[in-house]
Amino acid sequence: DTEVTQTPKHLVMGMTNKKSLKCEQHMGHRAMYWYKQKAKKPPELMFVYSYEKLSINESVPSRFSPECPNSSLLNLHLHALQPEDSALYLCASSQEARRFGTDTQYFGPGTRLTVL
């Protein structure tokens, strides 16, 4: 099973709202990722967690706050977003294998976020 689940599927929020995106995997993977995908563009990496610790932040604005409460869960907390933050937010996970080149990422279906 290579399933990554994301909730909600769709989210509409105002610029003053606080909301959270949730991602879950039960494959025993120890690396988890957030990507952002604007319309007609490829996905862009935002954050990487390895063994529940943040290892990569791709200079993402602080209005996006990731959290990894345990090895199966990844959250993205949203606050004071702008309309240009509207996008598909994708979560992925990988084994974080210690062997060379075998760390394949598996993606969830994404959350379609609209900021009004």
Partner 1 sequence: DAKTTQPPSMDCAEGRAANLPCNHSTISGNEYVYWYRQIHSQGPQYIIHGLKNNETNEMASLIITEDRKSSTLILPHATLRDTAVYYCIVRAGLTGANSKLTFGKGITLSVRP
DSSP conformation class of 44:
E
Both tokens of 37, joined, read 């995908």
Identify whether the C-beta of residue 24 lies closer than 8 Å to the C-beta of residue 4: yes
Please identify which residue in 45, 60, 73, 80 interacts with partner 1, judged by CB under 8 A: 45
d(Cα 103, Cα 32) in Å, to the nearest integer?
11
d(Cα 114, Cα 14) in Å, to the nearest integer?
9
Number of residues counted as binding partner 1 (CB under 8 A): 31
Please identify which residue in 7, 104, 114, 116 interacts with partner 1, judged by CB under 8 A: 104
| CB 87, min distance to partner 1, A | 12
Residue closer to partner 1 by CB (options 66, 108) is 108
Q: Which of residues 56-95 bind partner 1 (CB under 8 A)?
A: 56, 88, 90, 92, 94-95
48 burial via Cβ count (<10 Å: 0-12, 13-18, 19+): buried
Q: Residue 103, interface with partner 1 (CB under 8 A)?
A: yes
Q: Using CB under 8 A as the criterion, which residues of the chain lie in contact with partner 1 when the complex forms?
A: 2, 4, 31, 42-45, 48-50, 55-56, 88, 90, 92, 94-98, 100-101, 103-110, 112
